[in-house]
Amino acid sequence: MKILFVCTGNTCRSPMAAAIAKQKLSQAGRDDIQVDSAGLAVFGADPAASNAIEAMAEMGVDLKAHRSRALRFDELPSTDWFVAMTPSHAAALSSAGVSPDRIYVLNVPDPFGGSLEVYRQSRDQISTAVDRFLKEVLSCD
């Protein structure tokens, strides 16, 4: 199974969500699930936002090697779940041909440009939302 977390620039929310999901899946012994992230408006291989790196480091996750990447159309058929950060990301995925029954929305506002505290709040909101996704969709505790 493949899960792709999707946001706008792939420097804040989706890489944090993918890293959190990988950590939670590893703890649950679910090595059968591939997790990645991508953005809908990516123009280069940018690093994760510095506050995202710091907020994730506080929970033992290293995002320093992350580089943003754009969603590729050739990924659409091979991805089982697209986890969008907002309804607008979900709408863009639907417009690209992704079936709505393969899209899950986390409803996480964009912390881009915010303080470290804003990124901590985003990280915590993402963690809670990823827990909900894994429990609802994958029956993973």
Catalytic residue among 13, 36, 120, 123: 13
Determine whether 110 is an active site residue.
Answer: yes
What integer best gives the mean pLDDT of the chain? Answer: 96
Catalytic residue among 7, 12, 120, 123: 7
**CATH number of the domain enclosing 119:** 3.40.50.2300
Q: What is the mean pLDDT of residues 25-54?
A: 96
Determine whether 12 is an active site residue.
Answer: no
Cα separation of 118 and 112, whole Å?
9
127: containing domain: 2-138
Report how many domains make up the chain.
Answer: 1
Q: At 19, which helix (H) or strand (E)?
A: helix 13-27
The 10s digit of each residue's pLDDT in 90-138 is 999 999 999 999 999 999 999 999 999 999 999 999 999 999 999 998 8
Catalytic residue among 30, 102, 110, 140: 110
Determine whether 140 is an active site residue.
Answer: no
Name which of 126, 6, 16 is nearest 71 in CA terms. 6
Q: At 123, which helix (H) or strand (E)?
A: helix 116-138
